[in-house]
Chains A and B, each alone.
Chain A
């Protein structure tokens, strides 16, 4: 066939090679760690075992952390969809200054998110700004205890990742042709129905793309729970970090890591069955 297509094809190989060597190969290495007992470097004979994986789902302590991570990332996603939908809708349909507002929305991303999380610590801590304001107004007598709870972790995650939801939502909403809604109203639908049947349904791809950008980082978050959370808000990310940096058990750590990766992939793939996987890259928001 065309020689142009053949030559173009060769351009893909450096990237594919990189992907193979620096992504798939490392993944296979931790896969080996996760199903063996000792370090591969030690030189001792390798013994295969499933014990690393079994403990993830058997030890009550680990299971609690796993479920907590799922719950918190789920709520982060739901809240961020709720928060950002009206904003995305306004940007897409009700204003002509949408481009500059989108650029403004991107500004916080350039300022490291740890600094932004630190600001939330200033706001939420016992003698923080929120409590100073509320006590100054005599709305409360003693400080609200928000800091170092799951609530503060959730607030931090929502704050950090919500703008990530706005962008793909905005992209999917602004692509909806207004004449579709007019047609639906014309055919006798109420405004409410027209919104649900047309606008909302067509924005589902945006919600899906946004969910990838919110749910997955929230599920694997480490720094936000480490800064804002207390002992009751340890998430999988912190648990994995602990396995590698404190406990030093690479085999168990690898099993945790793979479980987290598999969990994220399975959840997203089953979720994507609703939309079709290609909607991820069809959506220009990301």
Chain B
């Protein structure tokens, strides 16, 4: 049963001619409001607007990096896209199929195609299961019988992810953080998904191990033609892994652009501030004082009562009256940069 559904799902994109690069994932107006209940009758008194209307696409074979500070809604967005959470509004299309409100059962065949890698390699692996059980679980859940048997398939996956096939019978506590993250990656790859959503895949790892896992993700993408949606707060890691980058602030996407054009010429003031805040491992810069850093004052406003108009205006040094009155749309500039700002930086030539 599941097999036929899976082939049907796979047949949809091939029936439409591959004229333009059909986006693998298309998100329009996605929102997620978490209700706040209060009062005697537990009525809804407000909502945390975690994700508040975002649009983006991910093309097959590319990596979209999503950056933002904590609380900007990037993880919620990841959970919505993988349908671990129910969107309040908007639309998610995967390979042209609307998956926004699919139930658990209807979603199951699609789970083969969309997998997730989690941040914390300590809590995302069941401590009572062996590595073999953990990595083999996707096959069992999907009733899939791999060629050459389950054990062989799991061992191949372990090898693919830089672990030894002999690790099959070991438990998670016998591994270091980096190795555990590899186990999580092996599990995500088990059913040969098309897309992997990775939520902070390396932030819990040491620097020297981070590079190993980043390179592994790179190799796997090249080898298996994977599409990644990588959510991270570390701008330098995102620059390294992404083809395109989306910057989020308070539940909104404020800028999306090609990696190179975003990092060489950020247009949204927030992106600019975010990048200038990254500490640079070069003491001479500090000494020369040649580095211009924009210090943002204060904290991110509450997503319960976001500021009117542009959400960044309360901390923005360019804010004017129009910013409070009117919300800037995510507009495409001639460079292909999409930016939601009334007064984007470096935009003199764009008007």
Do the two chains belong together in a single complex? no
Residues of A whose CB lies within 8 Å of any CB of B are: none
Residues of B whose CB lies within 8 Å of any CB of A are: none
